[in-house]
């Protein structure tokens, strides 16, 4: 059995084989007909000097891997953690390949000076793959620390979007929402960065310990450049308190420019003292409307939230989102 090997995004044949294996396995695991594009992975894993970057790995032959993995390393906020996905080709399972893939990844993470590994496993709710993932992780010392629920928001009724936005506006009196399709204006970027830095301490702990995130205007600009390098569009709704003039929340949604059918919700946040007033609903509806205006071929938004985040889940259900998959999160100390 070949040891774990690093896959470089500029190694055409090796990367193509890695991506084909990853894409097929990820679609099978999620029950979805779409996933990350090859050019998006090139941007995510093409620069080890980037403060947040990924590395790609394969197990087995270069042209036909038995299994693949991707691990993200964040050098800005948590230098002890690696967050990974692992996939073994369906026909090659139950041969010890998953165990070898995990062991090789652990060795790689340790060699990089990290002491905590988080593994995310995407499954269809109720599918036997979920129980298989739980059993595999338990047998290898990974603790199941949380579950995120993936939902889809179908954007097939513009009138409903307009109604949701109007209802949010009616509730959120005293606020205004700005929708950006492009870089954040210089006058707002510092406030945008401040809000982004508050999310990590506001969501349920996924099991690796809460670490403060360090955001400044330069990091916002890096995010915008990274999204552009991935070939994606980023639409952001910003909520501003009219009385103080300060930003109090934001909601991000992003979509591929080359395959625009499915968009993804990224961060959504409202400062605690401004919650319960319809601000989040207004922002999400406004961002969705802005996205559809800029990208008419987009027909759905995928979002993922920790199953313990009851307020956000209640809002998503009120918006009509439907469950499509779950992400099981496992953590191991190394």
The full set of domains in the chain, from first to last, is 4-114 (3.40.630.30), 152-324 (3.40.630.30)
Q: Which of 89, 102, 71, 97 is nearest to 20 (CA)?
A: 89
CB 234 within 8 A of CB 209: no
Non-local (6+) Cβ contacts of 200 within 8 A are 77, 210, 211, 212, 213
Q: Mean pLDDT in the chain? A: 91
> Looking at the predicted structure, is the pLDDT value of residue 96 above 50?
yes
CA distance 101 to 188: 44
How far is residue 168's CA from residue 317's CA, in Å, rounded to a whole number? 15
User: What is the mean predicted confidence (pLDDT) over 109-115?
Assistant: 96
For residues 29-48, give the mean pLDDT: 88
What's the pLDDT tens digit per position in 64-83? 999 999 999 999 999 999 99
- Find the DSSP H helices in the chain: 12-30, 38-45, 97-111, 128-139, 158-171, 186-196, 217-229, 279-294, 310-318
- What strand order describes the sheet that includes 143-154? 4-7, 52-59, 67-74, 78-88, 116-123, 322-333, 143-154, 300-306, 262-270, 247-256, 232-241, 175-181
Q: How far is CA 299 from the centre of its chain?
A: 19
Q: What is the pLDDT of residue 117?
A: 97
3-state helix, strand, coil in the chain (%, to 5): 35, 30, 30
Q: What is the DSSP string of 178-214?
A: EEEESSPPHHHHHHHHHHHTTSTTTSPP-SS------
Residue in 213, 202, 208, 209 with CA at minimum distance from that of residue 329: 208
pLDDT in tens, 225-258: 999 999 999 999 999 999 999 999 999 999 999 9
pLDDT at 210: 67
DSSP state of 307: T
- Alpha-carbon distances of 100 from 9, 29, 111, 156, 232, rounded to whole Å: 23, 20, 17, 44, 35
Q: 310-318 and 279-294 are packed helices; what angle lies between their axes, rounded to 10 degrees? A: 50
Q: Write down the pLDDT at residue 320.
A: 86
- The first and second tokens of residue 171, run together, are 């509730």
N- to C-terminal Cα separation, the chain: 24
């Amino acid at each position: 059995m070949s040891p774990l090997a690093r896959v470089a995004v500029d190694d055409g044949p090796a990367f193509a084989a890695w991506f084909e294996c990853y894409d097929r396995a990820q679609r099978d695991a999620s029950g979805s007909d779409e996933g990350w594009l090859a050019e998006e992975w090139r941007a995510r894993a093409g620069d080890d000097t980037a403060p947040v970057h990924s590395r790609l790995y394969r197990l087995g032959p270069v042209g036909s891997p038995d299994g693949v993995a991707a691990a993200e390393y964040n050098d800005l906020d948590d230098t002890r953690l690696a967050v990974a996905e692992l996939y073994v080709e369906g026909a090659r399972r139950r041969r010890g390949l998953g165990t070898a893939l995990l062991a090789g990844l652990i060795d790689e993470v340790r060699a990089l000076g990290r002491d905590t590994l988080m593994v995310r496993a995407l499954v269809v709710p109720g599918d036997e793959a979920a129980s298989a993932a739980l059993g595999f992780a338990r047998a290898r010392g990974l603790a199941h620390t949380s579950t995120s629920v993936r939902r889809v928001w179908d954007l097939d009724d513009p009138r409903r979007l307009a109604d949701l936005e109007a209802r949010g506006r009616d509730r959120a009196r005293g606020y205004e929402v700005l929708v950006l399709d492009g870089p954040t204006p210089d006058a707002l970027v510092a406030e945008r960065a401040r809000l982004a830095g508050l999310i990590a301490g506001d969501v349920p702990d996924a099991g690796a310990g809460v670490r403060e995130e360090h955001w400044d205007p330069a990091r916002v600009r890096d995010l915008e450049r990274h999204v552009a390098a991935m070939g994606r569009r980023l639409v952001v709704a910003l909520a501003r308190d009219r009385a103080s003039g300060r930003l109090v929340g934001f909601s991000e949604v992003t979509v591929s420019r080359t395959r625009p059918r499915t968009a993804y919700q990224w961060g959504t946040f409202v400062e605690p003292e401004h919650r319960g007033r319809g601000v989040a609903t207004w922002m999400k509806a406004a961002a969705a409307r802005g996205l559809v205006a800029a990208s008419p071929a987009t027909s759905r938004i995928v979002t993922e939230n920790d199953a313990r985040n009851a307020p956000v889940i209640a809002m998503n259900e009120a918006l009509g989102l439907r469950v499509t998959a779950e992400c099981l999160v496992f953590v191991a100390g190394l």
